A and B are shown apart, each in its own frame.
Chain A
Amino acid sequence: MTEKIVVIGLGGIGSFLALVLCRYLNFTNHCKKIVLVDGDRYGRENFVRQNISALEETKNKAEAQSVYLRSLFNTLTIVPVPEFVTEKNVAEIITDKSVVFLAVDNHATRKIVSERCQRLQDIVLISGGNEISDGNIQVYIKKNGRSRNPPIEKFHPEIAQPKDKNPAELSCEELARLSGSEQIIFTNLTAACLMLNAFYTIVAEKPLRYAEVYFDIEPNKALPHQR
């Protein structure tokens, strides 16, 4: 039984994912506790592709989304954590019997979250990332202490040895440059949909026949991979 669902990153992927996820959870008998995690703030450059009102400019993403989603879905307990995930706080944020959606923009955080999930007994991690028109999602499941598939960095050296930095280590100027990096709303939305498709298959207790899905919105292709 899932005790809480954690969404890390409330930007291009996470802001759409959280909205649809909360609508689904509000009207089903699955988990009712959602934790939204993001240390970043909404800026004007985000409004072209992130699901939030322009009135929320300068507000913390996790806090702004919590207020917005609580106004729509009154059966859920939505808890904001206005921090970036780091080695120091990861154990508090991610605990056993959680489902974790990872929608960040750096591999350093993916590595921290993946390593935390591997130390737990019962966990589902669904991670997504994109470039301009393409991207991938990855699923890691551990049940009763046994990993069902390899961790997300197993065949991905860019996650195992990340060259980027955790946003908690970046200056305000470096963070501002990250927010302006080019992305397309439709690519973010595709990643969010594929992550939610994986979630549905898992909570519906249907066999998940892949651990990774690559996609590209230009040819409109998605290809699942077993690992």
Chain B
Amino acid sequence: MAKFICGCNETDVTTFDGRAVSEARNGLRQALNISDDMKVLLNSNEITDMNTVIRADDEIEWVKPGGVKGN
């Protein structure tokens, strides 16, 4: 099953095997706190085509923006 990650949230589900990255984003938006402007990494490589089909052993990460504060 594919793994989906955003920030420190992750989940393994079979629901999106064979479906597009955009469908996974819409389905997991709330659970993983995904927003539309995040970069997407498929197996550590950036992709821009949200119609890319997810395979069972893929890892998809939506890259959460880094924290800005600290001083």
Residue positions of A touching B, CB distance < 8 A: 9-14, 38, 40, 103-107, 127-131, 134-136, 138, 152, 155-159, 164, 178, 181, 183, 188, 191, 214-216, 219, 221-223, 225-227
B34 contacts the other chain (CB 8 A): no
- CB contacts (< 8 Å) of B67 on chain A: these are 128-131, 134-136, 191
Name A8's closest neighbour in chain B (CB-CB). Answer: B71
Residue positions of B touching A, CB distance < 8 A: 5, 7-10, 39, 41, 44, 46, 61, 63-71
Could you list 10 A-B pairs, sorted by A, with CB under 8 Å?
A: A9-B71, A10-B71, A13-B71, A103-B71, A104-B70, A131-B68, A134-B8, A155-B41, A158-B65, A216-B8
Interface centre among B7, B61, B65, B71 (most CB of A within 10 A): B71
Minimum CB–CB distance from A83 to chain B (whole Å) comes to: 14
Given contacts A12-B71, A155-B46, contact A223 B7 (CB under 8 A): yes
Minimum CB–CB distance from B20 to chain A (whole Å) comes to: 21
Contact B10 A105 (CB under 8 A): no
Interface centre among A9, A104, A136, A188 (most CB of B within 10 A): A136
Q: Quick one: which of A128, A156, A226 contacts B70, CB cutoff 8 A?
A: A128
Interface centre among A38, A152, A183, A225 (most CB of B within 10 A): A225
- CB contacts (< 8 Å) of A105 on chain B: these are 68-71
- CB contacts (< 8 Å) of B61 on chain A: these are 225
Minimum CB–CB distance from A6 to chain B (whole Å) comes to: 15
Contact A131 B69 (CB under 8 A): yes
Contact B70 A9 (CB under 8 A): yes
Name B64's closest neighbour in chain A (CB-CB). Answer: A214
Contact B69 A130 (CB under 8 A): yes
- CB contacts (< 8 Å) of A155 on chain B: these are 39, 41, 46, 63
Contact A227 B68 (CB under 8 A): no
- CB contacts (< 8 Å) of B9 on chain A: these are 221, 223
**Complex: A188 Cα to B66 Cα, angstroms:** 14
